[in-house]
Structure 1
Amino acid sequence: MKGVHCTFITTQMPLPTTVSDFWSMVFDFKPSTIVMLNDKGQSDKSCAQYWPNDDSAKFGSYSVSILSTSSDGDVTTRQLKVTRNSKTSHTVTQYQFHGWPKHGSDQQPGARSLVKLIRAVKSSTNKKKEFSILVHCLSGAGRTGVFCTAMECIAQIAEGDSVDIFQTVKILRADRMQFVQTEEEYAFTYEVIREYLHTENYEQLPYPIEDHTYGNVEIDYTLDPEENPYEVTDPQEAGATALMYGNVETERSQDRPKPEPQQPYSVYENFAFDS
Structure 2
Amino acid sequence: MKVEGKVWVVTGGGSGMGRELVLLLLKRGAKVATLDINGDSLAETAKLAGDHAQSLSTHVLDITDREKVHAFPEEVIKIHGAVDAIINNAGIIQPFIKVNELEYDVIERIININFYGTLFMVKAFLPHLLKREEGYIANISSMGGFLPVPGQTFYGASKAGVKLLTEGLHSELMETNVRVSCIFPGAIDTNITANSGVETPGHEKADASKFKALPAPEAARIMLDGIEKNKYHIFVGKDSSFMNKLWRLAPERAAKLIYSKMKALLN
**TM-score of the superposed pair, with normalisation by structure 2:** 0.31
Which one has a larger percent helix, Structure 1 or Structure 2? 2
Larger radius of gyration: 1
